[in-house]
Structure 1
Amino acid sequence: MTVQFASYLRYSLALASSIVLTVTILTDSRFLRSDIKFRTPSVNELEPSELNGINRCYKSPSAHGSISYFEDILDAEKQPTVGKAIFFHETTCSETGIVKLNAKQACAIESAARLNPTRDIFVIFASPVGVRENEMLPQFYNKLQTYGNIYVRNMNLWRYSFKTPLTDWLKSNKLFESAFLFEHMSDIVRAITLYKYGGYHMDLDVIVQKNIDDLGEDFIGDDWATVVNGAVLHLNNYGIGREISQRFFGEVIKNFNGTSFIANGPKMLTRILEDICSTEDRTLWTRRQCQGLTIHPKETFYPISWSNYTLYFEPEKLDEALKIIENSTVIHVWNDRSKDIWNKFGINNAYQCILVAN
Structure 2
Amino acid sequence: MIFKRMFWVCFRKKNIQVLLILVILLVTVYNIYLLGNSQIFDKSQKHLIMCHFQDKHEESLPELISSEVTENSIYFFETSCNHEKGIQLNLRQGCAIESAAFLNPDSKIFVLFLSPNFVDHKSHVIDTLSSYKNVNFRYINLRSYANNTPLQNFITSKTIFTSNWPVSHTSDLLRFLTLWKFGGTYLDLDVVLMKSFNSMSNFVAVESETAIASLVLNFSTDKLGKLIANLTVNDYANNYRGNDWGYNGPGVITRALQKICNTENISEMTKDKCQGFTVYDQDTFCPVSWKDWYSYFNSNTSAEVMKKINNSIGIHVWNNHSKNTVVKVGSTQPYGLIAQKYCPNVFSLAKIEF
TM-score by length of 2: 0.80
- What is the rounded CA distance, in whole Å, between the counterparts of 1:295 and 1:259 in structure 2? 28
Q: How does 1:56-71 map to 2 (within 5 A)?
A: 56-64=50-58, 68-71=59-62
Equivalence for 2:69: 80
Q: Deviations over 1:295-347 (max 9, x none)?
A: 11111111111111111001111111101011111111111111121224333
SS across alignment from 2:115? coil
Q: CA deviation at 1:280?
A: 1.6
Task: Report Cα offsets for 1:11-56 as digits up to 9, x if no partner.
Answer: xxxxxxxxxxxxxxxxxxxxxxxxxxxxxxxxxxxxxxxxx84453
Q: Which runs of 5 or more structure 1 residues have no equivalent in the other structure? A: 1-51
311-320 vs 85-94, which deviates more?
85-94
Greater relative contact order (CA < 8 Å, ≥ 6 in sequence): 2
Structure 1 residues 62 and 173, CA, compared in 2 at 3 Å: closer, same or farther?
closer
Q: Deviations over 1:93-124 (max 9, x none)?
A: 13505111111100000011111111111111
Which whole-Å CA distance do the structure 1 matches of 2:340 and 2:303 have between them? 15
Q: Which residue of 2 aligns with 1:268?
A: 252
Alignment counterpart, residue 169 of structure 1, candidates 146, 151, 154: 154
2:165 is the counterpart of 1:180:
yes
- Tell me the SS of whatever aligns to 1:140: helix
State the Cα RMSD in Å.
Answer: 1.7
SS at match of 1:331: strand
Q: Is the 8 A contact 1:195 1:236 kept in 2?
A: no
Unaligned runs of 5+ residues in structure 2 are: 1-45, 343-354
* Equivalences, count: 297
Q: What corresponds to 1:352 in structure 2?
A: 336
Closer, same or farther in 2 for the Cα pair 1:287/1:146, shift >3 Å? same
- CA offset at residue 237 of structure 1? 3.2
8 Å CA contact 2:284–2:312 kept in 1: the answer is: yes
Runs of 4 or more off by more than 6 Å in structure 1? none
**Paired residue for 1:127?**
115
1:328 pairs with 2:316: no
In structure 2, do the counterparts of structure 1 residues 138 and 95 end up closer, same or farther at CA, with 3 Å as the change threshold?
closer
Q: Which amino acid aligns with 1:252?
A: Y
Give the structure 2 partner of residue 144 of structure 1. Answer: 129
- Asked if 1 retains the 8 angstrom alpha-carbon contact of 2:57 and 2:116, the reply is no
CA offsets 1:226-285 (integer angstroms, 9 cap, x no match): 111011120023412212221122222222111111010111221221121111222221
The AA in structure 1 aligned to 2:254 is T
For the 8 Å contact 2:240–2:247, the answer to whether it is kept is: yes
Counterpart code for 1:231 = L
Q: 1:165 to 1:238 in 2, by over 3 A?
A: farther
5 Å-filtered alignment, 1:1-358, equals: 53-64=47-58, 68-74=59-65, 79-82=68-71, 84-96=72-84, 98-131=86-119, 136-214=121-199, 216-358=200-342
Q: What residue number does 2:348 align with?
A: none
Give the structure-1-normalised TM-score.
0.79
SS for the counterpart of 1:230 is coil
Give the counterpart letter for 1:98 in structure 2: G
Contact 2:88 2:119 in 1 (8 A): no
